[in-house]
Amino acid sequence: MFNEHSDEGYHEVAPGISIKTVAYGERTLMAEFRLARGATLPEHSHPHEQTGYLVSGSMVLRIDGQARELAPGDAWTVPPDAPHGADIIEDSVAVEVFSPVREDYLKYR
């Protein structure tokens, strides 16, 4: 499956946090997040493993009680059911892959 880049189709899921599912298959789903400076991703958890990559910007990511300031090129993995959240320092773009597929993110295409 191929998907071409488009600036359309992003959905704001929290103030300053927009998501677009850019590709998915039987076992994984990839989403792009656009994150506005000053936004906060509230702490939450889910049964999916989540691996991410910061394309641009800066944020503080908290995973299971540990916090790290991230810069472009940094990557992370959130284990299933681990509490995590973020504070966005600069306008940022992050790409994340979820396994298994997050069915709730299929509507963000």
In a domain, 5, yes or no: no
In a domain, 48, yes or no: yes
The residue among 108, 67, 72 whose CA lies nearest residue 91 is 72
In a domain, 23, yes or no: yes
What's the sign of the alpha-carbon dihedral 30, 31, 37, 41? negative
In a domain, 1, yes or no: no
> Residue 53 belongs to a domain with what CATH number?
2.60.120.10
CB 33 within 8 A of CB 19: yes
| Number of structural domains found in the chain | 1
Q: What's the CA gap between 1 and 102, in Å, rounded?
A: 17
Taking only the tens of pLDDT, the chain with its 109 residues reads 688 899 999 999 999 999 999 999 999 999 999 999 999 999 999 999 999 999 999 999 999 999 999 999 999 999 999 999 999 999 999 999 999 999 999 999 9
In a domain, 7, yes or no: no
What's this model's pTM, rounded to 2 decimal places?
Answer: 0.94
**Which domain covers residue 99, as residue numbers?**
12-108
In a domain, 2, yes or no: no
